[in-house]
Structure 1
Amino acid sequence: MTDLPTSAKAIVIGGGIVGCSTAYHLAKLGWRDTVLLERKKLTSGTTFHAAGLVGQLRSNANITQLLGYSVDLYNRIEAETGLGTGWKMNGGLRLACNAERWTEVKRQATTAHSFGLDMELLTPREAQELWPLMNADDVVGAAFMPTDGQANPSDITQALAKGARMAGATIFEDTKVIDVEIDKGRIRAVVTDRGRIECERVICCAGQWTRDFAARFGVNVPLVPMQHQYMVTEPFEGVPSDLPTLRDPDRLTYYKEEVGGLVMGGYEPNPIPWAVDGIPKGFHYTLLDSNFDHFEPMMELALGRVPALQTAGIKTLTNGPESFTPDGNFIIGEAPELRNFFVGAGFNAFGIAAGGGAGMALAEWVAKGEPPFDLWSADIRRFGRPHFDTDWVRTRTIEAYGKHYTMGWPHEEHASGRPCRKSPLYEILKSHGAVFGEKLGWERPNWFADTLGAQDDYSFGRQNWFDAVGREHAAAREAAVLIDQSSFAKFALKGPDALAALNWICANDVDRPVGALTYTQMLNDRGGIECDLTIGRVAEDEFYIVTGTGFATRDFNWISRTIPEGLNCQLFDITSASAVLSLMGPCARDILQGATRADVSNAGFPFGTLRTIGIAGCPVRALRVTYVGELGWELHLPVEYAATVYSALMQAGQGHGLANAGYRAIESLRLEKGYRAWGSDIGPDHTPHEAGLGWAVKLNKNIDFKGRAAAQAQQQDGVKKRLAGFTVDPQIVLLGRETIYRDGQRVGWLSSGGYGYTVEKSIGFGYVRNPDGVTAEFVTSGAYELDVASQRVPCQVHLAPLYDPKMQRIKV
């Protein structure tokens, strides 16, 4: 047995497809002293029993791009290594068997076209011609992706392992990692049962073992193992070797051809978690006992689609544990708790489809300090406090597994593990008819119903909350609303070098007087927007930072790790200390003045400032700022005062039309005003100049900051994409990802969509792209259409806000 090296540049833990892909790509990047350690044999964890379907389309453009990279890699890896992979680009077929599913499939086809993928819509007869084994009596339509395919998981992993060795990486099987040595927060070595290897970077791709292993070093990886079964038949007549993969979501099942027979599996609504008390010691190359009773409902659904299964011989019913996550997406990236500890795990039974691209992205992240593109929807930093509790993670993951093939409704909320984190006003708002959504465990009012106990009624059309949100929207525009935004993430940065740190990290100038608010982005070296937040200066050496609920972990991690070395300041997460009430609308000043003796006139309390005022015995940190386009304040106050202050404001609002409002009204209001949302309209792949936020970048000041060079170059050279607004007929529902056509040419897709009740139009935002450059004149000179569920509809383009409260007129 070959001796272990004494040192390595990077160590990959885990010899499944993701680990081998990561080692392969690191070696291709020139990291030839990469070492992969596998405690048993390659693929012996979960890879060897994967079904091997490779689909590409997801609702996120970059995740789709990552899966598309997998296909490109699988197309060439056999020729590169000489090892067979079982890869076949035989296409993928998806069925729709009712009107709502057909709408979903047509919207998926639009998304595919937005992202540059070829997805064809088929009639039932055309679908049956591609898949002659199926009964198509109930099929309404289908979609076909010609570049999807299937692979043999073990073979393709072995090919990646060989490619890694050919590029210089070293792979050691039967080598168990016992420990990771950490000194003062820095990784120093990996200790195995065969010796110690010095290194500074660890990439943990240990599948379902990742959560427990990473937790030993303070890293939280929210995944749990679930049982997943599929059946393999004996060969039978009528199964073509080039049969496409088939997904039949209305029957919860999937199929692929295998050696003249079929593989059939599915996602049951009542999944069974595995290893609740821990994975058994020594578990490898092991399957679970087949559970025929639990699989029987899947079989009955499949027989209705593929009658030939009634007489086909059953070779095996494979039951293998797979790692699943609370939101159904995989987990990738550098752990926020430990520098240079990277994770690639939780692939929700699509690890073969994602393996090639995930390994590429992880390798780039390790080698270059950032991913090749924005991977926020899979980023490990999307999780937060509830995800430290394995029972909560399991509860939510069971629901996510059961929804794998259910309808992907717009605005759908999870129901499990709730309520978890509650504002002090939760019960009060519930008594007023609040219908709550959830983000990072927080219960947040989405809308207010006329009757108690109301809930969302999902559809692809206007949903049951549409009129109620319209009333809240109108109250914000015409009177005032009160919104519980206690879930905002809130940080304090303190210390003698706090200003110097923030002025390096922030694109805007935060060197302003105590009491000033600054809206700013934080950029990466490419000029992309890593954070979008508000900063208030509360003392010479202290700043109050407010960002979105879902970005609590990510933004805290970005700020803390971007503080230049040697500066004396400390960052604290103080989210749970304060409740937040947002008072917004043209009557907001009158209402606030009725609840406080402080001067809240425009002269006494200008826009973009913060002050501490008194309301009902409570010291309130009031921020005059708005995300809805109206006069307003965010009122940040100690949680124990929340109910008292809420009551005082509601009393002061009597006679002024003050109403409760929720997050869906915020979304409608911000769309009309043209405010950007991080995670959809802006992110690491978008710059301030592309997003129309160049005014918030301090290029006219002699202050260096992270991303300045890229922002300056773009200011001089221009941009190749630019965010614009689009409006269409109010009967058309915009959700985001609709394709943008300019003069008949595809130029982008909508990053967000919704409805503007004041302008009475459906509104979307999206980037207009042109490799030769995009100017304001280029944007406004074109004739535009949107593809909505595979139908072209005319639209109007806008670069200015649709609503301006100062002018009291609509710009549509």
Structure 2
Amino acid sequence: MADRLPAQAEVVIVGGGIVGCSIAYHLTKLGITDVVLLERRQLTCGTTWHAAGLIGQLRSSRQLTELAKYTSELLYELERETGQATGFKQNGSVSVALNQERFEELKRGASMAKNFGLDVQVIGRDDITRLWPLLDLDGVVGGVFLPKDGQANPTDITQAFAKGARMRGAKIVENLKVEKLLVENGRAVGVRTEEGVLKARTVVLAAGMWSRELAAAAGVSIPLHAAEHFYIVTEAVDGLPNNLPVLRVPDECAYYKEDAGKLLVGAFEPVAKPWGMSGIPEDFCFDALPDDFDHFEPILLDAARRVPVLERTGIKTFFNGPESFTPDDRYLLGETAEVRDLFVACGFNSIGIQSSGGAGKALAQWIRDRHPPADLSDVDVRRMHPFQGTKAYLRDRTTETLGLLYAMHWPFRQVETARGARRSPLHDRLVAAGAVMGEVAGWERANWYAPPRSDAKYAYSWGRQNWFDRCADECRAVRDEVALFDQTSFAKFMVQGPDATRALNWLSTSNVDVPVGKMVYTQWLNARGGIEADLTITRTGPQAYMVVTAGATQTRDFSWLERNLPADARCIATDVTSSYAVLGVMGPQSRALLEKLSGEDLSDARFPFATSREIEIGYARVRASRITFVGELGWELYVPMEFAVHVYDRLMDEGAPFGLRLAGYHAMNSCRTEKGYRHWGHDIGIADNPLDAGLGFCVAWEKAGGFIGLDALREARTRTPPTRRMVQFRLADPSKLLYHEEPIWCGGEIVGSITSGMFGHRLGASLGMGYVTHDAGVTAQWLAENAFEIEVAWERVPAQASLAPFYDPENARIKS
């Protein structure tokens, strides 16, 4: 046993699929060679061996695209280094659209690809025929070609990763099942196997569809679920070109690739079949699932019409195998929130092959440095919430997530399955009032309000959707009268104890040693100066604070808080999210309405901006905090959950004379974009520092004791003027709408990209914001002297640039 299983290692990896082997390979390339990889059966025997092997590069964000690009670049090097063929063929990929809205999606994706430095072409019908002569063009309106995409053999790539890892000293042990992850004092310390215990400083869980159960036994939530994935391989096709690009026809849910003279046709159907609810068979190894021709037949009938050669070609293989999917179709990477030194890489949503190189490299660097090498928040496992790991939730959501890969990626599209998990006490009242709900982190939130006797649901498009005018009405209420937002989904933490002030000052850029009842807007940074969280902190007592952050980041922000409190600090942190509802009362009439309800003097002299104190509304005592995310006079009311309906009813009963109107998150997003308020995860993140982001006013440079990231900020401060800054943009054409990652052009070159966009109803303009880079410095003068354009769906639109927000840049309205 000593030869087969050592007693200890620097890193132990659980799982011998393509990602696990990639991690081992990249760890050894970094010089971490004391690596042991354990595989329950044989390498690739779970999902890897039957993957289609598509190597695409364009993903939904810059960093994920960079990881995918790295994979394709690595495959040639990997083959030369190890002598193991990978089957990589860089034959490109073609995606075609069967309607104009899909074509707009493809063109927006092409603009994004250009922004990421990919070789991309928008093509017409003649080009499509040239690239894919077997295709029937009936209904085809256009497409996109990425020449450097391709295909490869997943099993061969895995063996190459394994060989490269072994060459540098890694040990790979097959046919050895890991029975348990070992955790001591909140840290992973090794694994227990059928043949004994292996201790390790770092444990990596890359066990694919087995990962959830292994993690759950250690108290860790890994939300993924297997689904059946179907494809067929034909008999040999006479005269089939061997250089055919990979073809995707998302409107028919199908993809095609040439496979040794045959055609492989696969699908991501709208309603998927979850698998493995009762557990995965112990002897599962290179196994296929039972055929279900009835399920796949609609896809195949469309495919035979689209590629007529299929009508006269026999099927050699009908394959059905399991693949793991996550609730949001993004994979799970990084150190877990629940257990330190436990890293995961799983749930790859059918893109594990193309992601393998980049994900393996990124996680290896993450393990070495104990922080991510770039902004990987899109795939950071800490974005997930514990309820998302429940079996029922995962089964219900997985029926949808597989199909979403090829569904239209509409702006503001809402998931339809596994809904209703988290509801504020006001949910039913809001729905009765016409609320059309969206979902974030399981929370049902009112996005907009439909008028009476109308169809209260989304009608999606790339242009102005059916809620556009309703949102405009809500924004006007915010501007002219008063609007009520249900913001209960906010995450709320209490930090209490004699050292609470010192501890929070160490985490925060701002000085939180303020009088009781004062609010502080601040950021939490990492040691590199990047923004880990963007939030408010209210001092509620001499030794007590309330931290308020976004609902979507509840898990990661609380984990960051707990892990970065000084070890000797006499204070505790408690997640009290479920204890308080939050009602935002916003607009110029908010003061008069709340004064009537509370009997309090809420004048600017008695209740200035960034002040928080308790007031009475009806039978309840609520915390009223004068703050805003919409750029108007207003208060957030923090109400004990059991009083929420009562307070809401009082507001609605008394609100009519003041013009009170219910408003949703689309209106909030419109207003915050007009004000240039940053949103963590879009406009700011772990690779952005407060100076570049225009948040330098939050930095207490001379605060006693400093704070995490101060040294990095001081170094960044020396770069004057800054060469990268957040800039606001206003399109000349208000009919064009911005969403995310549209290229910013200046002087014939791309100088940045849009981080978020929205139509600003108070201004009547299409707006966006994004970082702009200029070597000589991004200054107001330089912006004024140059012409800017934003590329929208392959078309450049002139835009006005400004460092200041376009709406109320002097903040007169919020401090009135």
- Taking structure 1 as the reference length, the TM-score comes to 0.98
Q: Which residue of 2 aligns with 1:735?
A: 739
- Deviation, 1:806, is 6.2
SS in 2 for 1:201: strand
Letter in 2 for 1:48: W
SS in 2 for 1:8: strand
- Check the 8 A contact 1:40/1:284 in 2, yes or no: yes
The 2-side partners of 1:193 and 1:773 are apart by 61
Find out whether 1:759 has 2:760 as its counterpart.
Answer: no
Q: Which residue of 2 aligns with 1:659?
A: 661
Q: Which residue of 2 aligns with 1:318?
A: 319
User: Share of identical aligned residues, percent?
Assistant: 48
Q: Kindly provide the CA deviation profile for residues 650-670 of structure 1, in whole angstroms up to 9, marking residues without a partner as x.
A: 233222111110100000101
Letter in 2 for 1:721: R
Find out whether 1:180 has 2:181 as its counterpart.
Answer: yes
Q: Which residue of 1 aligns with 2:88?
A: 87
The 1-side partners of 2:798 and 2:702 are apart by 40
- Deviation, 1:562, is 1.1
The 2-side partners of 1:273 and 1:430 are apart by 31
Letter in 1 for 2:125: P
Q: Kindly provide the CA deviation profile for residues 593-621 of structure 1, in whole angstroms up to 9, marking residues without a partner as x.
A: 01002321111111111101111011101
- Check the 8 A contact 2:780/2:802 in 1, yes or no: no
Counterpart mapping for 1:240-251 below 5 A: 240-251=241-252
- Deviation, 1:292, is 1.8
Q: Which residue of 1 aligns with 2:210?
A: 209
The 2-side partners of 1:143 and 1:546 are apart by 43
The 1-side partners of 2:577 and 2:619 are apart by 22
SS in 1 for 2:718: helix
Q: Which residue of 1 aligns with 2:116?
A: 115
The 2-side partners of 1:490 and 1:50 are apart by 42
- Deviation, 1:200, is 2.2
- Check the 8 A contact 1:629/1:805 in 2, yes or no: no
Find out whether 1:721 has 2:724 as its counterpart.
Answer: yes
**Greater displacement, 173-182 / 582-591:** 173-182
Letter in 1 for 2:143: A
- Deviation, 1:386, is 2.7
SS in 2 for 1:318: strand
- Check the 8 A contact 1:768/1:779 in 2, yes or no: no
Find out whether 1:749 has 2:753 as its counterpart.
Answer: yes
Q: Which residue of 1 aligns with 2:359?
A: 358
Find out whether 1:568 has 2:570 as its counterpart.
Answer: yes
Q: Which residue of 1 aligns with 2:644?
A: 642
Match of 2:552 among 537, 547, 550: 550
Counterpart mapping for 1:768-783 below 5 A: 768-771=772-775, 773-783=777-787
Match of 1:619 among 611, 618, 621: 621
The 1-side partners of 2:781 and 2:410 are apart by 37
- The gaps in structure 1 that reach 5 residues or longer are none
Equivalences, count: 810
The 1-side partners of 2:408 and 2:239 are apart by 31
The 2-side partners of 1:410 and 1:207 are apart by 30
Q: Which residue of 2 aligns with 1:500?
A: 502
SS in 2 for 1:803: coil
Letter in 2 for 1:386: F
Taking structure 1 as reference, are residues 44 and 533 closer, same or farther at Cα in structure 2, changes over 3 Å only? same
Match of 1:685 among 684, 687, 712: 687
Letter in 2 for 1:146: P
The 1-side partners of 2:755 and 2:35 are apart by 38
Q: Which residue of 2 aligns with 1:258?
A: 259
- Check the 8 A contact 2:12/2:190 in 1, yes or no: no
Q: Which residue of 2 aligns with 1:125?
A: 126
SS in 2 for 1:653: helix
- Deviation, 1:356, is 0.7
The 2-side partners of 1:267 and 1:424 are apart by 37
- Check the 8 A contact 1:784/1:795 in 2, yes or no: yes
The 2-side partners of 1:581 and 1:392 are apart by 28
The 2-side partners of 1:328 and 1:101 are apart by 20
- The gaps in structure 2 that reach 5 residues or longer are none
**Greater displacement, 362-371 / 188-197:** 188-197
The 2-side partners of 1:16 and 1:87 are apart by 18
- Deviation, 1:712, is 0.8
The 2-side partners of 1:660 and 1:100 are apart by 32
Find out whether 1:608 has 2:636 as its counterpart.
Answer: no
The 2-side partners of 1:780 and 1:398 are apart by 51
- Check the 8 A contact 1:326/1:394 in 2, yes or no: no
The 2-side partners of 1:657 and 1:9 are apart by 65
Q: Which residue of 2 aligns with 1:400?
A: 401
The 2-side partners of 1:291 and 1:397 are apart by 18
SS in 1 for 2:524: strand
The 1-side partners of 2:755 and 2:185 are apart by 42
SS in 2 for 1:109: helix
Q: Kindly provide the CA deviation profile for residues 172-200 of structure 1, in whole angstroms up to 9, marking residues without a partner as x.
A: 11121122222222222322222322212
Find out whether 1:150 has 2:154 as its counterpart.
Answer: no
The 1-side partners of 2:812 and 2:532 are apart by 34
Q: Which residue of 2 aligns with 1:224?
A: 225
Q: Kindly provide the CA deviation profile for residues 500-534 of structure 1, in whole angstroms up to 9, marking residues without a partner as x.
A: 11111111111111111110000011111000000
- Check the 8 A contact 1:386/1:440 in 2, yes or no: no
Letter in 2 for 1:600: L
- Check the 8 A contact 1:433/1:454 in 2, yes or no: yes
Runs of 4+ in 1 over 6 A off after TM superposition: 805-809
SS in 2 for 1:9: strand
The 1-side partners of 2:809 and 2:773 are apart by 30
- Check the 8 A contact 2:96/2:249 in 1, yes or no: yes
- Check the 8 A contact 2:181/2:214 in 1, yes or no: no
Find out whether 1:290 has 2:291 as its counterpart.
Answer: yes
The 1-side partners of 2:657 and 2:452 are apart by 23
- Check the 8 A contact 2:186/2:338 in 1, yes or no: no
Match of 2:792 among 788, 791, 801: 788
Counterpart mapping for 1:274-353 below 5 A: 274-353=275-354
- Check the 8 A contact 1:110/1:739 in 2, yes or no: yes
Q: Which residue of 1 aligns with 2:167?
A: 166
The 2-side partners of 1:771 and 1:703 are apart by 34
The 2-side partners of 1:402 and 1:186 are apart by 37
- Check the 8 A contact 1:70/1:357 in 2, yes or no: yes
- Deviation, 1:805, is 7.8
- Check the 8 A contact 1:252/1:298 in 2, yes or no: yes
Letter in 2 for 1:784: F
The 2-side partners of 1:189 and 1:805 are apart by 55
- Taking structure 2 as the reference length, the TM-score comes to 0.97
Q: Kindly provide the CA deviation profile for residues 110-142 of structure 1, in whole angstroms up to 9, marking residues without a partner as x.
A: 111111112101111101111111111321101
SS in 1 for 2:672: helix
- Check the 8 A contact 1:424/1:639 in 2, yes or no: yes
Q: Kindly provide the CA deviation profile for residues 311-360 of structure 1, in whole angstroms up to 9, marking residues without a partner as x.
A: 22322111111111111111111111111111111111110011111111
SS in 1 for 2:717: helix
- Deviation, 1:770, is 3.1
- Check the 8 A contact 2:272/2:398 in 1, yes or no: no
The 1-side partners of 2:423 and 2:338 are apart by 25
- Deviation, 1:402, is 2.3
Q: Which residue of 1 aligns with 2:441?
A: 440
Match of 1:467 among 462, 466, 469: 469
Q: Kindly provide the CA deviation profile for residues 369-405 of structure 1, in whole angstroms up to 9, marking residues without a partner as x.
A: 1111111111111111431321112111211112221
SS in 2 for 1:726: strand
RMSD (Å), alpha carbons: 1.5
SS in 2 for 1:683: coil
